[in-house]
Amino acid sequence: MRTSRSTTTTRTFRAPGIPLRKRIAALLTGAVSVAALVGAGATTAHAADTPLRDLAAAQGKVIGTAVTGSKLTGAYGDIAGAQFSSLTPGNAMKWGTVEPTQGSFNWSEADQIVAFAQAHHQQVRGHTLVWHNQNPNWLTNGSWTPAQLSSLLQNHITTEVTRYKGKIAAWDVVNEAFNEDGTYRPTLWYDNLGADYIANALTWAHAADPAAKLYINDYNVEGVNAKSTALYNLVKSLKQRGVPIDGVGLQAHLILGQVPATLQQNIQRFADLGVDVAITELDVRMQLPATAASLTQQKADFKSVVGACAAVTRCVNVTVWGFTDSDSWVPSTFPGYGAATPYDENYNPKPAYYGIAEALGGGTSTPPPPPGGACTATYSVSSQWNDGFTGQVRIACSGASLSSWKVSWSYGAGQRITQAWNAVCTQSGAVVTCQNASYNGTVPDGGAVTFGFNASWSGSNPVPTVTLG
In whole angstroms, what is the distance from residue 199 CA to residue 174 CA?
Answer: 10
Per DSSP, 186 falls in state P
Q: Is 302 in the site for ligand G3I (CB under 6 A)?
A: no
Tell the smallest beta-carbon distance from residue 291 to ligand G3I (Å). Answer: 25
Nearer to ligand G3I, 278 or 432 (CB): 278
Nearer to ligand G3I, 9 or 86 (CB): 86
Nearer to ligand G3I, 219 or 323 (CB): 219
Nearer to ligand G3I, 78 or 218 (CB): 218
Three-state secondary structure call for residue 81: helix
Tell the smallest beta-carbon distance from residue 280 to ligand G3I (Å). Answer: 8
| Binding track, positions 205-224, relative to ligand G3I; x by CB under 6 A | --------------x-----
Tell the smallest beta-carbon distance from residue 341 to ligand G3I (Å). Answer: 11
The residues near 288 (Cβ < 8 Å, ≥ 6 apart) are 3, 4, 5, 6, 331, 336, 337, 338, 339, 380
Tell the smallest beta-carbon distance from residue 184 to ligand G3I (Å). Answer: 17
Please list every residue from 88 through 107 that binds ligand G3I, using CB under 6 A. 90-91
Nearer to ligand G3I, 120 or 132 (CB): 132
Tell the smallest beta-carbon distance from residue 412 to ligand G3I (Å). Answer: 13
Nearer to ligand G3I, 248 or 423 (CB): 248
Q: Which of 124, 26, 136 is nearest to 67 (CA)?
A: 124
Residues with a known catalytic role: 176, 281
Tell the smallest beta-carbon distance from residue 382 to ligand G3I (Å). Answer: 25
C-alpha to C-alpha distances, 242 to 206, 238, 246, 368, 418, nearest whole angstrom: 12, 6, 11, 52, 66
| Angle, CA of 84, 465 and 284, to the nearest 5° | 45
Please list every residue from 112 through 141 that binds ligand G3I, using CB under 6 A. 133-134
Tell the smallest beta-carbon distance from residue 32 to ligand G3I (Å). Answer: 23
Q: Which of 321, 289, 312, 271 is nearest to 393 (CA)?
A: 289
Nearer to ligand G3I, 320 or 455 (CB): 320
E strands, 160-246, are: 170-175, 213-218
Q: Is 229 in the site for ligand G3I (CB under 6 A)?
A: no
Q: Is 281 in the site for ligand G3I (CB under 6 A)?
A: yes
User: What are the backbone angles phi and psi of residue 359, rounded to the nearest 5°?
Assistant: -65, -25
Q: Is 329 in the site for ligand G3I (CB under 6 A)?
A: yes
Nearer to ligand G3I, 134 or 291 (CB): 134
Q: Is 76 in the site for ligand G3I (CB under 6 A)?
A: no
Q: Which of 187, 189, 183, 160 is nearest to 172 (CA)?
A: 160
Q: Which of 370, 433, 439 is nearest to 403 (CA)?
A: 439
Strand order in the sheet with 416-421: 6-10, 374-384, 388-398, 448-456, 416-421
Pairing of strands 276-287, 247-250: parallel
Q: Is 251 in the site for ligand G3I (CB under 6 A)?
A: yes
- In this structure, are residues 264 and 311 in contact, taking their beta carbons and an 8 Å threshold? yes
- In this structure, are residues 372 and 401 in contact, taking their beta carbons and an 8 Å threshold? no
Tell the smallest beta-carbon distance from residue 327 to ligand G3I (Å). Answer: 9
Three-state secondary structure call for residue 172: strand
Ramachandran area for residue 459 (φ above 0: left; ψ -120 to 50: alpha; else beta): left
Tell me the DSSP string of 372-385. Answer: T-EEEEEEEEEEE-
Q: Is 187 in the site for ligand G3I (CB under 6 A)?
A: no
Interacting residue ranges for ligand G3I, rule: CB under 6 A: 90-91, 133-134, 175, 219, 251, 281, 329
